[in-house]
Amino acid sequence: MLKLNKSDTLLFVIVAAMVLLAPFILNPFPQGSSLAQMFNAGYPDLMQRFVIFGILVIGFNILFGLTGYLSFGHAAFLGIGSYSAVWMFKLLSMNVIPALILSMIVAGIFSLAIGYVSLRRSGIYFSILTLAFAQMSYNLAYSVLGNPSSSYNLTNGETGLQVYSNDPQYFASSSAPDTPHLFGLAMSDSSKLDIGSWQFTFNNGYYMSGILMLVAFYISIRIFRSPFGMMLRAVKSNQQRMNYTGLNTKPYTLAAFVISGMYAGLAGGLLSSMDPLAGAERMHWTASGEIVIMAILGGVGTLIGPIVGAGFNEYFKNILSKINDGILHQWLSFLPDGLENFIVGILHYFVGKGWHLTLGLLFMMVIIFLPGGLVEGGQRLAKLFKRKKTEDGSDSNNTPAK
């Protein structure tokens, strides 16, 4: 099916089913219950972030996972995509299609220029070059390009770029909604389904982003299995042998860089399509670092890893930041009071506003003990399980791991 081999098709179908049924899967607890408040993730804002960051990390993985070039400035393309999309809203109309197309094109042009220069060096020098370019973009977006009184105010600085009522919007029709929409279908609109005490929300923006993520995922599978993908893995493995095998590594790495830049641009455009407000903080280098973290958490160089990493990161960020001392006390009420207070006192630093700390620690653990990320963890578990079941496990896989 879809020109994919059996296991890839299965993987794709599973991911597609999860994306389409996410409003059910992510809302396992009935509305209003305390568990629902904590663990339900089936609301539009969060689901949108799952799939949009999924796109971003899938793209990043095509660069870092296949070629091994560690870009520490990928958030720049996300930001550029966001700004481009909002400009389309300001100039044309609130329809998301031109916005998404432009965000990919502009991010593609930027990544072509930045990649062309940065890829002249490898290793840490490449990382620092991308970091330098990204910080330049961030600083410019915050200062000169964001000064409302200057003639080239492209980003609107700290306020963030947004749509105002006096913007031209040359193609806006009066019947269309005044929020981002797809031919009249507002991104922020949802339909709700009540079954018993459960409530499920189906949001337009989520489904559009989700379908785009499936397309992005499908393309990445095809790239992984293509001769081009093999060449990218060869770049990571041995550039010397590549050069002496008559292959020019530069256009390969540059193509990977531009593709991943365009993925990031699309993700940025989608963020703006869900909420038409673009700020420079999306481009800060720590945001680039977060992209790296998501990729590593999931499993670099694997197909499903980026989606797992992005989902995991966003989900736990969400849960951890919701937990407060009251909830901790509630959970630990079975303990003797002194011990309870002591444990809550310690956990206090890891939840709520301290979620960064928990994720930072988790990230370190993964790099130290599980370089292949959660996917490798899952594979190890599966192997352990398999070995228990059958002793004749002679499964050899010559394609890269899922």
Partner 1 sequence: MGILEVKNVGKRFGGLQALGDVNLSVAENSVHAIIGPNGAGKSTLLNCLVGKLIPDTGSVMFDGQSVLGRKPYEINQMGISRVFQTPEIFGDLSVLENMLIPCFAKRDGAFHLSAFKNMLADKEMVERAQHMLEEMNMAGKHAMNAAALSRGDKRRLEIGMCLSQEPRLLLLDEPTAGMARADTNNTIDLLKQISDERDITIAIIEHDMHVVFSLAERITVLAQGTPLVEDTPDNIKGHPKVREAYLGETQDAA
Partner 2 sequence: MDQILLQILNGLDKGSAYALIALGLTLIFGTLGVVNFAHGALFMIGAFCAVTLQRILNISTITEDPTKTDFLGNPAKIKTPIVETWFGPEVGASIIDWSVPLAIFFAIPIMAAVGIIMERGLIKHFYKRPHADQILVTFGLAIVLQEVIKAIYGANPIPTPAPEAFRGSFDFGTYIGFEANAIIYPYWRMVYFAFSAIIIAAVFAFLQFTTFGMVVRAGMADRETVGLLGINIDKRFTIMFAIAACVAGLAGVMYAPINSPNYHMGMDFLVLSFVVVVVGGMGSLPGAVLAGFMLGILEAFASMNQVKAIFPGIDQIIIYLVAIIIILTRPRGLMGRRGVMEE
Residue 225 burial class via C-beta count within 10 angstroms: exposed 0-12, middle 13-18, buried 19 and up: middle
Among 14, 33, 371, 383, binds partner 2 (CB under 8 A): 371
Distance (Å, whole) CA 298 – CA 306: 5
Residue closer to partner 2 by CB (options 17, 113) is 113
- For 284-336, the DSSP string reads SHHHHHHHHHHHHHH-TT-SSHHHHHHHHHHHHHHHHHH--HHHHHHHTTTS-
Q: Least distance from C-beta 98 to partner 2, angstroms?
A: 29
**Binding-site string for partner 2 from residue 69 to residue 88, where x marks contact by CB under 8 A and - marks none:** -x-x----------------
Cβ neighbours around 393 below 10 Å, total? 9
- Is residue 283 near partner 2 by the rule CB under 8 A? no
Q: Does 357 bind partner 2 (CB under 8 A)?
A: yes
Residue 143 binds to partner 2 (criterion: CB under 8 A): yes
Interacting residues toward partner 1 by CB under 8 A: 3, 5, 222-223, 225-231, 233-234, 236-238, 240-248, 251-252, 255, 259, 396-398
374 touches 305 (CB < 8 A): yes
Stretch that binds partner 2, among 86-94, 104-112, 286-294, 321-329 (CB under 8 A): 286-294
The residue from 139, 153, 162, 201 that contacts partner 2 (CB under 8 A) is: 139
291 belongs to the binding site for partner 2 (CB under 8 A): no
Of 202, 188, 187, the closest CA to residue 24 belongs to: 202
397 binds, among partner 1, partner 2, none (CB under 5 to 8 A by kind): partner 1
Indicate the DSSP class of residue 146.
G
Centre a 10 Å sphere on the Cβ of residue 249 and count the other Cβ atoms it contains. 18
Is residue 131 close enough to count as binding partner 2 by CB under 8 A? yes
255 binding partner (options partner 2, partner 1, none; Cβ < 5 to 8 Å by kind)? partner 1
CB closer to partner 1, 333 vs 398: 398
Specify the length of the chain in residues.
Answer: 402
CB of 233 to partner 1, least distance (A): 6
Asked whether position 33 contacts partner 2 by CB under 8 A, the answer is: no
Of residues 135 and 379, the one with the C-beta less far from partner 2: 135
CB neighbours of residue 334 within 10 Å: 6
d(C-alpha 384, C-alpha 249), whole Å: 39
- In the complex, least distance from residue 114 CB atom to partner 2, rounded to whole angstroms: 10
Residue type for 161, please?
L
User: 268 contacts which partner out of partner 2, partner 1, none, CB within 5 to 8 A by kind?
Assistant: none
Least distance between partner 2 and beta carbon 342 (Å): 17
Partner touching 228 among partner 2, partner 1, none, CB below 5 to 8 Å by kind: partner 1
- C-alpha to C-alpha distance for 190 and 213, rounded to whole angstroms: 19
Contacts for 111 with CB less than 8 Å, ≥ 6 apart: 77, 257, 258, 260, 261, 262, 264, 265
Q: State yes or no: residue 140 binds partner 2 (CB under 8 A).
A: yes
321 binds partner 2 (CB under 8 A): no
Pick what 390 binds: partner 1, partner 2, none; C-beta below 5 to 8 Å, kind-dependent: none
State in angstroms the smallest separation of the CB of 152 from partner 2: 8
CA 332, 338, 341, 347 torsion-angle sign:
negative
Instruction: Classify residue 364 as exposed, middle or buried by CB count within 10 Å of its CB (0-12, 13-18, 19+).
Output: exposed
* Interface pick for partner 2 out of 19, 52, 163, 293 (rule CB under 8 A): 293
Q: Which does 246 bind (CB under 5 to 8 A by kind): partner 2, partner 1, none?
A: partner 1
Q: Which residue has the tokens 């379908």?
A: 211
Q: Is 360 in the site for partner 2 (CB under 8 A)?
A: yes
Q: Which two tokens stand for residue 194?
A: 């009540």
CB of 393 to partner 1, least distance (A): 15
CA dihedral 133, 280, 266, 46 (to 10 degrees): 130
Query: Which ranges of 68-203 would DSSP assign to H, the alpha helix?
Result: 75-91, 96-118, 123-142
Q: How far apart are CA 48 and CA 271, in angstroms?
A: 8
Residue 125 interacts, among partner 1, partner 2, none and using kind-specific CB cut-offs from 5 to 8 Å, with partner 2
For strand 181-182 and strand 190-195, is the pairing parallel, antiparallel, or unpaired? unpaired
Question: Applying CB under 8 A, which residues contact partner 2?
Answer: 68, 70, 72, 117, 120-125, 127-129, 131-133, 135-136, 139-140, 142-145, 150, 285-286, 289, 292-293, 296, 349, 354, 356-357, 359-361, 363-364, 367-368, 371
